[in-house]
Amino acid sequence: MNSISRAVPSSTFLSKASTLGIIIVAWALIYLPALGQPGLLDDADSIHAEAAREMLLNHNWVTLYVNGIRYLEKAPLMYWSVAASYKLFGVGEWQTRLPLALSVLGLGLCAYIFGRRFLNPEAGFYAALILITAPGIFVYTRFLIPDAIVAMWLTLGLYFFLIAYEQENPSRWACWGLAITVALNVLTKSLIGLAFPGMIIFVFLLLTGNFKKLFRMRPWSSALVFLIVAAPWHILAAIRSPAQPSGPEKGFLWFYFVNEQVLRYLNKRIPRDYDKVPLLIFWALLLAWLIPWFVFLFPALKEIPRRVRDWREGLEARARANLLFGVWAGVIMLFFSFSTRQEYYSLPVLPALALLTGGWMQGERESAAASSERRSGKASSLALLIIGLIGFAAAMSILAMTHSFPPGTDIGSVLVAHPGQYALSLGHMEDLTIEAFGLFRTPLWLVGFALLIGTALNWIFRRRGAPFKGNLALTSMMVVVLFCVHQGFTIFSPELTSKTIALKIQKEYRPGDTIVVNGKYETGSTLNYYTGVELHVLNGRDGNLWYGSYFPDAPRIFEDNESFARLWRGDGRVFLFTEDYLKDKALQDIDPKTIYVFARQGGKVVLTNRPL
């Protein structure tokens, strides 16, 4: 059945209330239990949470501060949402994660309304379920980064664009809706928020040969609406953070737009504190982020109209939507294929692929028993069953090769550090050993059986001509799998968070004490968040606080080996937080007789100059 000629069927499905209920229940089962645990992670998670906390403390919603230093590289909207959550509910972990969790629900609902309008109510329902249960989105809302919010605004913006495109005389609300969502995305992740919809719309209009439509979409008033929303914060931020003669000679706008956007894309950002994922892995991870639904993506790609003549001579509304989804995915993936990239940069592609797949799954259910869609569904389900069997066998094999550990075992004692990989978001996963999987026996067992039962039920239901039940079986499977992912993440978290150490320091901390992080601030940023104490940084000025450290209001927190040795020999107590393998370099000028171990966990150690 070809998307170019298929009309939207009139057959009934579940009611709107029922579909919304299933979407919300699936979201609640996956995301609400994951709000409270584990502790916030070192680096981006607690840095961004600290920026929101200091926003409230400083009563300053324009200039971000972290550890008392201007943090000028990020757009503010995510921090505003977290600060608002703190204002309403208090400062804490679930309050930190709540805005991202709600953005996932918002993303699912945006895909739902997009699919309902341009494909079919059932297609929108499936698209929402795919996004709610997508492991990529779940994993990358375990720490505080804005990419799920970016995906939400992009989906809503392109929804408004397609509405305006379909109208003979585009309505004001659709055009201004697009402008507002683009502006909100700029306030979420800077130029990406403008570049993505701009490039996607440009390529779509180029392929359809309909650039004249753009001039009917109220460009001048829409531009004004965009500026009204996006410009005020940028203007105020630039005024409040001018160039500093004592440091970087260029001001906020250069640092924020040129250094953090253009130079980062070109791999020339200053300082260079990141790495990039190999290209093939980046593309392969796109499928991993859509497990298990990616098996249906391959037949769904046939929904995209492929003939240039069809693009130019006119397509039905459904086919135009599918063409937009294809352009949407292709533009973003190609954009990052030529840039620096992290594993999660492909997340804004997932709504496009979910809508394509949801539309195909709707067509599969409504097609005849002997149709190509039904045959493709059965073949895809068989492939998924084989993957499920392999996953079950792998889980059981790992269980057979491992043993349980006593309660309280430090996970750092059974990991092998690979610090060269830590510039990637999943770099710490390479520290895992077969022995270490003994700490994950319960979630491994559950994942293995969930994959086996879920993929088997899906295969059985599709063979019996009930793909809808098969999709619900996969949804239920993913609820269990993502619960286990969260449990595994919690078990692994002592390697990623220093919360326990921070709380122990907080209990012993007295006025006049000093907490020092060896290396970049982000290595121990959870200490700042949980203790509320300003950290000193030893030999780490080249990290996230580099630019802001040159402003006159920056506290004097940066130490070198000489000043640190004086601090250590002084009258006050010093807590030195360091990765275990880096402690010797930090202590090279320190008398070993004055070094006492205060705490140790997850490959990290706190040393002090006073006995307990």
Per-residue pLDDT of 33-56, as tens digits, reads: 999 999 999 999 999 999 999 999
Instruction: Find the range with the poorest average confidence among 311-315, 383-387, 503-507.
Output: 311-315
CB atoms within 10 A of CB 103: 24
Give, rounded to a whole angstrom, the gap between the first and last alpha carbons of the chain. Answer: 74
CB atoms within 10 A of CB 370: 7
Give the containing element (helix H, strand E) for 222.
helix 219-240
> What pLDDT shows up at residue 13?
78
* Residue 5 scores a pLDDT above 60: no
Let me know: does 520 contact 535? Beta carbons within 8 Å: no
Minimal CA–CA distance to 521: which of 188, 194, 50? 50
Across the range 475-489, mean pLDDT stands at 97
Residue carrying structure tokens 């391959």? 298
Structure confidence by residue, pLDDT tens digits, 557-599: 999 999 999 999 999 999 999 998 899 989 998 999 999 999 9
Across the range 7-32, mean pLDDT stands at 84
> What pLDDT shows up at residue 4?
37
* Residue 7 scores a pLDDT above 80: no
Structure confidence by residue, pLDDT tens digits, 108-128: 999 999 999 999 999 999 999
* Residue 422 scores a pLDDT above 50: yes
Across the range 220-233, mean pLDDT stands at 97
Q: Where are the alpha helices (DSSP H) in 340-466?
A: 350-366, 372-401, 441-463
Minimal CA–CA distance to 93: which of 411, 479, 490? 490
Gap between the Cα atoms of 58 and 87, Å rounded: 13
Let me know: does 604 contact 499? Beta carbons within 8 Å: no
* Residue 247 scores a pLDDT above 70: no
Gap between the Cα atoms of 480 and 30, Å rounded: 8
- Pairwise pLDDT comparison (471 vs 314), residue with the higher score: 471
| Tokens matching residue 369 | 């028993």
> Helix or strand or coil: residue 578?
strand
Q: Are strands 65-66 and 69-70 parallel, antiparallel or unpaired?
A: antiparallel
How far is CA 54 from each of CA 65, 501, 533, rounded to the nearest angstrom? 6, 21, 12
| Tokens matching residue 201 | 């719309």
Percentage of the chain with pLDDT > 90?
75
- Binning pLDDT at 50, 70 and 90, where does residue 425 land? low
* Residue 8 scores a pLDDT above 60: no
Minimal CA–CA distance to 444: which of 378, 491, 499? 491
Gap between the Cα atoms of 540 and 517, Å rounded: 8
Minimal CA–CA distance to 518: which of 568, 564, 484, 449? 564
> What pLDDT shows up at residue 9?
45
- Binning pLDDT at 50, 70 and 90, where does residue 1 land? very low
> What pLDDT shows up at residue 6?
43
The residue type found at 322 is N
Gap between the Cα atoms of 478 and 483, Å rounded: 8
- Pairwise pLDDT comparison (195 vs 2), residue with the higher score: 195
| Tokens matching residue 83 | 């600060």
CB atoms within 10 A of CB 284: 11
Give the containing element (helix H, strand E) for 84.
helix 77-89
Gap between the Cα atoms of 111 and 129, Å rounded: 9
Question: The whole model's pTM is what?
Answer: 0.93
Across the range 547-555, mean pLDDT stands at 92
> What pLDDT shows up at residue 10?
40
| Tokens matching residue 191 | 């130029």
| CB proximity list for 378: less than 8 A, separation 6 or greater | 459, 462, 463
Structure confidence by residue, pLDDT tens digits, 285-310: 999 999 999 999 999 999 998 877 66
> What pLDDT shows up at residue 167?
93
> What pLDDT shows up at residue 82?
98
* Residue 74 scores a pLDDT above 90: yes
* Residue 548 scores a pLDDT above 50: yes
Structure confidence by residue, pLDDT tens digits, 259-278: 888 888 888 888 776 668 89
Structure confidence by residue, pLDDT tens digits, 150-178: 999 999 999 999 999 999 999 999 999 99
- Binning pLDDT at 50, 70 and 90, where does residue 75 land? very high
Gap between the Cα atoms of 122 and 130, Å rounded: 12
How far is CA 220 from each of CA 176, 223, 367, 412, rounded to the nearest angstrom? 10, 5, 45, 58
Across the range 217-224, mean pLDDT stands at 95
Let me know: does 533 contact 574? Beta carbons within 8 Å: no
**Phi and psi at residue 88, in whole multiples of 5°?**
-80, -40
Gap between the Cα atoms of 252 and 559, Å rounded: 25
- Binning pLDDT at 50, 70 and 90, where does residue 202 land? very high
Q: What is the DSSP letter of 551?
A: S
Gap between the Cα atoms of 517 and 513, Å rounded: 13
> Helix or strand or coil: residue 538?
strand
CB atoms within 10 A of CB 388: 24
Minimal CA–CA distance to 148: which of 26, 310, 31, 246? 31
Minimal CA–CA distance to 79: which of 60, 107, 104? 60
Let me know: does 204 contact 323? Beta carbons within 8 Å: yes
- Pairwise pLDDT comparison (545 vs 293), residue with the higher score: 293
Minimal CA–CA distance to 473: which of 21, 26, 85? 26
* Residue 20 scores a pLDDT above 70: yes
- Pairwise pLDDT comparison (247 vs 50), residue with the higher score: 50
Give the containing element (helix H, strand E) for 574.
strand 574-579
- Pairwise pLDDT comparison (541 vs 82), residue with the higher score: 82
Let me know: does 545 contact 71? Beta carbons within 8 Å: yes
CB atoms within 10 A of CB 369: 7
